[in-house]
Homo-oligomer: A and B are copies of this chain.
Amino acid sequence: MLTEERHATILNCLKEKEVVKIQELTEATGASESTIRRDLTDLEESGLLRRVHGGAAKVSRKRIEPSMGEKSNRFSEEKRAAGRLAASLIEDNDCVFIDAGTTTLALIPYIQAKNIVAVTSGFDHLRLLAEQGIEAYGTGGRLKQSTEALTGTGAVHGLQQYWFDKAFLGVNGIHLKAGYTTPDPEEAAVKTEAIKRAQQPFILADASKFQESTFAHIADLEDAVIITGKIPEKTRRMFEKVTDIKEALS
């Protein structure tokens, strides 16, 4: 049985059931456990399902289609863990903002909450959210090609139509003195506005961002809660004096 066939079989199993065990899949496909595990990893990275202990689960209410590239290894383990933790914070009926960037993109497949509304400045994010059957709004603004983000006054202006329960943002630097920073002032303006308009702002970042400082200031450390993969004990102690840290993989 070909890889593509197995992938199709797996996704078919998930069309009917909410979750499926690995053993069921090895029987359905005749492949070994290792192979099925690899398949699940691939499919998860493509955003087509969600891995759970013991097997895999549906990712969306609506469409399960190969609409994104077959194999994008965009998400590191750390980003996935942080994304998962972040997604678990979204509750039914929430209105959330999701920033552009791969870090926040990783959280979208894990969203389980029902009946939520999402606003995003990310181009890919917008499509991915809509494909999951989530009511998705774009901010508007100029499409910055390098980052695939909608930025500028157009995006800020678009944001001002909304109010959020939660906002999930990526940043480039988290610094004790400089606070949250990013190299692009236009993007910084969008992020700042989003934090302003959210009751609970969250910053998603990996360990490498701590004690880094880039050009444009977004907000002060205490203005948001940090969600991260795993960070050194020392870093954690240093920063948690100033703001909350939610550490996945700890």
Specify which chain B residues have a CB less than 8 angstroms from the CB of A55 in the assembled complex: 2
Pick the most buried of A19, A55, A65: most chain B CB atoms within 10 A of its CB.
A19
Pick the most buried of A18, A131, A140, A152: most chain B CB atoms within 10 A of its CB.
A140
Q: Is the CB of B2 within 8 A of A54?
A: yes
Q: Is the CB of A65 within 8 A of B66?
A: no
Q: Quick one: CB contact mask for A100-142 with B, threshold 8 Å, 1 for yes?
A: 0000000000000000000000010011011100011111111
Specify which chain B residues have a CB less than 8 angstroms from the CB of A158 in the assembled complex: 140, 154, 157-158
**Looking across the interface, which residue of chain B has its beta carbon closest to that of A142?**
B137
Specify which chain B residues have a CB less than 8 angstroms from the CB of A127 in the assembled complex: 123, 143
Q: For A130, give its contact among B2, B8, B143 (CB under 8 Å).
A: B143
Q: Which of A56-64, A82-90, A217-225 contacts B (4 or more CB under 8 A)?
A: A56-64
Q: Is A237 an interface residue (CB 8 A)?
A: no
Alpha-carbon gap, A155 to B161, bound state (A) = 11
Q: Is the CB of A138 within 8 A of B143?
A: yes
Q: Is A249 an interface residue (CB 8 A)?
A: no
Interface of A is mostly: mixed
Q: Give min CB distance, A92 to chain B, whole Å.
A: 19
**Looking across the interface, which residue of chain B has its beta carbon closest to that of A53?**
B3
Given A4-B53, A4-B54, A138-B150, 8 new contacts (CB under 8 A): A2-B52, A4-B57, A123-B127, A127-B143, A129-B143, A137-B140, A137-B141, A137-B152
Q: Give min CB distance, A160 to chain B, whole Å.
A: 9
Q: Give min CB distance, A187 to chain B, whole Å.
A: 15
Known: A52-B3, A123-B126. A154 touches B142 (CB 8 A): no
Q: Give min CB distance, A74 to chain B, whole Å.
A: 15
Specify which chain B residues have a CB less than 8 angstroms from the CB of A136 in the assembled complex: 142-143
Q: Is A67 an interface residue (CB 8 A)?
A: yes
**Looking across the interface, which residue of chain B has its beta carbon closest to that of A140?**
B140
Q: Is A5 an interface residue (CB 8 A)?
A: yes
Q: Quick one: CB contact mask for A197-218 with B, threshold 8 Å, 1 for yes?
A: 0000000000000000000000
